[in-house]
Structure 1
Amino acid sequence: MDEQKITPQFLVTPDEQSQAILSQLENNGLNPDVYEQIKNDPLYLQLNNALQGIPSTDQEIQKLNDENRLTYEMYTKKSTLNHKRVEEKQKFVFKKGFKKAEQKFYQSQLKISKKKKQNQLSIDFYETHFKMLSQKMNKDLTYFIHPQKKMQIGIITYQSGFKSFNQPYIKTILKSQSFRQEIKDYIEKHFIQEVQEEMSYKLSKFIKFCSRMYEEALKEYYRICAKNDDEEYFRNFIRLKMEQLIVKNSKCKIPWSLQEIIDAQKFALNLIDQEMDMENE
């Protein structure tokens, strides 16, 4: 049979509609009922096992319906492209740790005084953790601001001395003993559990997105190929369309696996230990 007749061709770039659906899921999340329904689906169990490093058997995959088997295939293909650098893993950990350190500080301050405004709380946070370091490094306190945030003092808005939450920024803020201890405590005691819970939710959103893309692929097939009743062409069409919308879509992310989470924790703690060793030299 002519290969052209059984192998449809698609543009590499995902279409605008799929991007809009992905954006909607990212911004609005999932209805709690939908989330619980997905978590009870056999596909969720198999993909969650994959995240934990537990491979599914052929028998388990064959028990899934056509749509779910195809979603499992898309996840598998996507995961082979999902290689993360050490710096990316460290950034992931420390951005979460920074946020938790802020939240913990704000909560403790609000217990003392509920009248403090957000701007003052931000100033107090940086002064508590970075004032001594700023004096030691002969840098203004605003130098240590989170690169993706701004600090308002009066009518003036201040920004970080760094362009992004990168390795140099991470190493700089880890020079603060108090901040280093706060973030190390979070990474050791809470990071893995919290991130696993977050990945569970992201897995549900990934499954939901794949389901929507399967529906879109079917609609497109019946719109432009309704007269083609070749089963092989139909299966190739749906599979390749799903690859275009999911695997080749850089904005469609799969959740971090347990091993990636553990590696990220290990790399982050190693960096903290390095900073402590340098300080003690």
Structure 2
Amino acid sequence: MDYVSKITPQIIDTPDEESQAMLSQLENNNPDIYEQMKKNSPFFHQLNNAQQGLLSTDQELQKLNDEERLTHEMYTRKSALNHKRVEEKQKLVFKKAFKKAEQKFYQNQLKISKKKKQTQQQIDFYEAYFKELSLKMNKDLKYFIHPQKKMQIGVINYQSGFKSFNQPYIRTILKSKSFRSEIKDYILNHFVREVQEEMSYKLLKFIKFCSRMYEEALKDFQMNSAKNDDEEYFRNFIRLKMEQSILKNSKCKIPWSLQEIIDAQKFALNLIDQEMDMENE
């Protein structure tokens, strides 16, 4: 029996050639529409539910094809092994919060003056939030500059005193009362929703990656093991290949789960509260 032909890779049901051609054209010419179509698929919704901590029933899983069930299995198994470190949590939250504070400041600056150069706007941002604090702490302003940013005005170079976006840097910028207030509002009211939207697109990328790995596993079977007509051997062969490509591949990342996003939010708010308590002592 030809088990390869029984298990045809697919993500959404498009059995006729005309539909396949339309999808291909959509993907090439208008990827946004293509992504929306994929998001409307039952399989995407099941993985999206898993991302939010909701388990699929056996009845729901039975409606999936073999490729989708295997992808679902790879996701849930990798998710169980996926533990976020403190460094990952703080970078996810505070880098996004920092960026949002910058964007808001620059937008307000443009309302005042559209003639300022971008570098000067960046310097203005650090001076607005951290200059008073730098004087109070007797620390150069460079210790408040984002570690991944370099600025220059004339012959003066502005570069961070920190090598990475680590906890010492985060605790330093959190000593600014105005900056704390700005990012706390974002973390409380916008962070979870915005990151969830990002993770939705990353989930689509994960599905695409798994689909590609599945197709490669099928091709590998056809080239090297097609003479073996045992169905159990075939399924184990495909599963093993998928495990090597996904579970054991450190470069294959799954999106953050809703619980991980909430945990990161709580971690960040706790760090902010700690700085506020220290200030009030």
- TM bracket (short chain): 0.7 to 0.9
> 1:196 maps to what in 2?
196
Q: Which residue of 1 aligns with 2:52?
A: 52
Larger mean Cα displacement after TM superposition, 60-69 or 31-40:
31-40
* Alignment-mate amino acid for residue 65 of structure 1: N
**What is the one-letter code of the residue matched to 1:69?**
R
Counterparts of residues 86-235 of structure 1 (less than 5 Å)? 86-235=86-235
Change (3 A) 1:155 1:249: farther
Query: Which has the larger displacement, 31-40 or 73-82?
Result: 31-40
Following superposition, the deviation at residue 85 of structure 1 comes to: 2.5
Against the structure 1 CA distance between its residues 57 and 136, is the aligned structure 2 distance closer, same or farther, given a 3 Å change threshold?
same
1:268 and 2:277 matched: no
Check whether the contact 1:89–1:267 (CA below 8 A) recurs between aligned residues: yes
Q: Secondary structure at the match of 2:55?
A: coil
- The 3 A distance-change label for structure 1 pair 238 and 160 is same
Provide the rounded CA distance (Å) in 2 between the counterparts of 1:195 and 1:161. 29
1:109 & 1:149 partners in 2: Cα distance? 19
Q: 1:179-236, CA deviations, whole angstroms, 9 ceiling, x for partnerless residues?
A: 1111001001111111111111111111111111111111122122222222222111
CA distance in 2, matches of 1:226, 1:87: 46
The question of whether the paired residues in 2 share the 8 Å contact of 1:143 and 1:162 is answered with yes
Deviation per residue, 1:36-60 (Å, 9 max, x gap): 1221122111111111111111111
Whether contact under 8 Å (1:145, 1:151) holds in the other structure is: no
The equivalent residue for 2:258 is: 258
In 1, the alpha carbon distance for the partners of 2:179 and 2:230 equals 63
What is the CA distance between 1:32 and its match in structure 2? Answer: 1.1
Show the counterpart of 1:72: 72
Q: Which runs of 4+ in 1 moved over 6 A?
A: none
Cα distance in structure 1, aligned partners of 2:72 and 2:151: 45
**What SS class does the counterpart of residue 162 from structure 2 fall into?**
coil
Q: Which amino acid aligns with 1:187?
A: I
Q: Which has the higher contact order (CA 8 A, sep 6+)?
A: 1
**What amino acid sits opposite 1:271 in the alignment?**
L
Extract unaligned runs of 5+ from structure 1: 1-29
Ranges in structure 2 where 5+ consecutive residues have no aligned partner: 1-29
d(CA) in 1 for partners of 2:202 and 2:192?
15
Give the superposed CA RMSD. 1.6
What is the CA–CA distance in structure 2 between the aligned matches of 1:37 and 1:108, rounded to whole Å?
37
In 2, the alpha carbon distance for the partners of 1:163 and 1:95 equals 15
Q: Residue in 1 aligned with 2:18? A: none
CA offset digits 1:81-120 (Å, max 9, x no partner): 1111234212211111001001111111111111111111
Deviation at 1:246, TM superposition (A): 1.1
Query: AA paired with 2:58?
Result: D
Q: Which amino acid aligns with 1:254?
A: I
For residue 279 of structure 1, what is the amino acid of its counterpart? E
Question: Which deviates the most, 145-154 or 84-93?
Answer: 84-93
Q: Match for residue 6 of structure 1?
A: none
CA distance in 2, matches of 1:145, 1:167: 14
In 2: Cα distance, 1:154 partner to 1:227 partner = 71
Query: How much has 1:156 moved relative to structure 2?
Result: 4.4
**Identical columns (%):** 80
Cα distance change, pair 177–218 in 1 and its aligned pair in 2 (3 A): same
Normalised TM-score (structure 1): 0.86
Distance in 1 (CA, whole Å) between partners of 2:184 and 2:132 is 19
Q: Whole-Å Cα distance in 2 between the matches of residues 56 and 209 of structure 1?
A: 22
Secondary structure, in 3 states, of the residue corresponding to 1:185? helix
Residue 153 of structure 1 and its aligned partner are, at CA, apart by 2.4
Q: Secondary structure at the match of 2:207?
A: helix
* Residue type of the alignment partner of 1:243: E
